[in-house]
Chain A
């Protein structure tokens, strides 16, 4: 795998208010290898996504998208590299003041390379892909939680990225909603998109990823496949996979 086909974190440390979130953290997302980051709440999973996107500046270490190191660079320099990545935020992060159609076509409108007709065609195609074409002219406030997530996926797809990050995509959804999101992720992977997800939801993680990273106390304590994870003797990993009554109250 060449460097241009991966997103990497090298020796990265990040802390907030003196609390270490990540310490000497190495991570690599290779194109074509779908990955999930697991860990308890507050372990720093979402922070990893934001650091990989250059939304947060690390205290030390660096982040590289392809061959370009983005750490310490102004956004205008690495925005082209970042266009290879899209993210589906936990709450969808749809723009309140815009309709669903405007949300999905946002990046295309901003780039200004396509005509309005072409953009509308793409928007309809993406909304149809996620199954919410009827919501084209609705505002985010008029959508259910599941619809918001699907519209957020459509927005992520609109610019045809290589990598798609998912931040807790199934949180707060009913089982049918979870199934739909899983199904969408699998269809995206079948189309050649590489996904990186952070979640607590083991069923979704095992259904959509080949490799898993487990975070504990600012460090990566496990990296491997599902089988390796289940066979792992690391107590924190086992506790996460099979929480006992005792572990719930620790």
Chain B
């Protein structure tokens, strides 16, 4: 690989990064300005939120069950199976709940946002809106961002709750009674953990919505371009979620002292 190729790759990368931040900044600047497109927000909330509820709950249920199963196997030799509730809670609410729900939503909704906006771009619907005097960011990006910022923490909370239920189902199979299971939870968790468990999906929701919208609005090249964009949005969103999960956790750890 010669230097010119590396130069071109770096230039493209920084141009994309600049475009992403520019769109994010523009969206923030316009998200609280009229018109608010309430109807579009409601439609997007339904599409992004309610439609993803089942898949997030299913993910939470089975992850909670498998976490409980693993914990029970590991804790049994130490006669510490009563801590299983706490272990499931701390793992799911702080880490796996936000990350898995966000990855599910990135795969299901992030790609859908990109495909929808990408199709609108290649069929010139976005150009038509601009000619009609519509602010594309207010009309297309802001409602999706707002819907995602509201929906993803709620979906994560639902997934967390169901995962605790799944953990309980598993634990009850090993003779752990409900009281012992529930008592273990506050022993491992503090209120700040709940806050962290909701801040993370809010931030991940921002990443998913902005990446989906940015990639969608920059789609080129017809049906193939739309397919490539959808794939790119899912990959980029997923990688960003995993990367920023680490950074956010690090920040929380530092602030906790």
B132 CB contacts on chain A under 8 angstroms: 106-107, 110, 159
* B130 adjacent to A75 (CB under 8 Å): yes
A158 to chain B, nearest CB (A): 9
Contact A93 B128 (CB under 8 A): yes
Q: Any chain B CB within 8 A of the CB of A111?
A: yes
Complex partner residue of B130 from A55, A86, A94, A95, CB under 8 angstroms:
A55
**Cα separation A83 to B133 with both chains bound (whole Å):** 7
Q: Could you tell me the distance between the alpha carbons of A93 and B131 in the complex, rounded to whole angstroms?
A: 11
Check if B131 sits within 8 Å of A55, measured CB to CB.
yes
B126-182, CB < 8 A from A: 127-135
Q: In the complex, which residues of chain A have a beta carbon less than 8 angstroms from the beta carbon of B135?
A: 75-76
Provide 15 A-B residue pairs closer than 8 Å at the C-beta atoms, listed in order of the A residue. Answer: A50-B127, A53-B130, A55-B131, A75-B130, A76-B135, A89-B124, A90-B124, A91-B123, A93-B127, A94-B128, A95-B128, A95-B129, A110-B35, A110-B132, A111-B133
Contact of B133 among A50, A79, A96 (CB under 8 A): A79
Q: Could you say which residues of chain B place their CB within 8 Å of the CB of A29?
A: none
- Binary interface encoding of chain A residues 88-107 relative to chain B, with 1 for a CB under 8 A from any of its CBs, else 0: 01110111100000000011
Measured CB to CB, the nearest residue on chain A to B133 is A79
Complex interface: chain B residues within 8 A of A154 (CB): none
| Cβ–Cβ contact B128 & A87, under 8 A | yes
Q: Chain B 89-125, CB within 8 Å of chain A: the 1/0 string?
A: 0000000000000000000000000000001100111
- Whether B131 contacts A87 by the Cβ 8 Å rule is yes
Mark B residues whose CB is within 8 Å of A.
Answer: 35, 119-120, 123-125, 127-135
Query: What residues of B have a CB within 8 angstroms of the CB of A12 in the complex?
Result: none
**What residues of chain A lie closer than 8 Å to B125, measured between beta carbons?**
93-96
Size band of the interface chain A makes with B:
20 to 34
- Interface Cβ pair total, 8 Å cutoff: 49
B126 and chain A: residue at smallest CB distance: A93
| B residues less than 8 Å from A82 (CB atoms) | 131, 133
Q: Which residues of B contact A90 (CB under 8 A)?
A: 124
**B123 contact from A75, A76, A87, A93, Cβ within 8 A:** A93
Question: How close is A83's CB to chain B, nearest CB, in angstroms?
Answer: 6
Query: Can you list the 9 inter-chain pairs with the closest CB atoms, starting with the nearest?
Result: A93-B124, A93-B128, A107-B132, A89-B124, A79-B133, A93-B125, A55-B127, A87-B131, A106-B132
A53 touches B131 (CB 8 A): yes
Q: Please give the distance in Å from B31's CB to the nearest CB on chain A.
A: 16
Q: Let me know if A110 and B131 touch, CB within 8 A.
A: no
Instruction: Choose among B131, B133, B135 the residue with the greatest number of A CB atoms under 10 Å from its CB.
Output: B131
CB neighbors of B among A42-56 (8 A): 50, 53, 55
Q: Which residue of B lies closest to A158 (CB)?
A: B132
**Minimum distance in angstroms from B4 CB to a CB of chain A:** 14
Residues of B within 8 A of A106 (CB): 129, 132
Q: In the complex, what's the smallest C-beta–C-beta distance from A10 to chain B, in angstroms?
A: 21
Residues on A with C-beta less than 8 A from B127 are 50, 53, 55, 89, 93
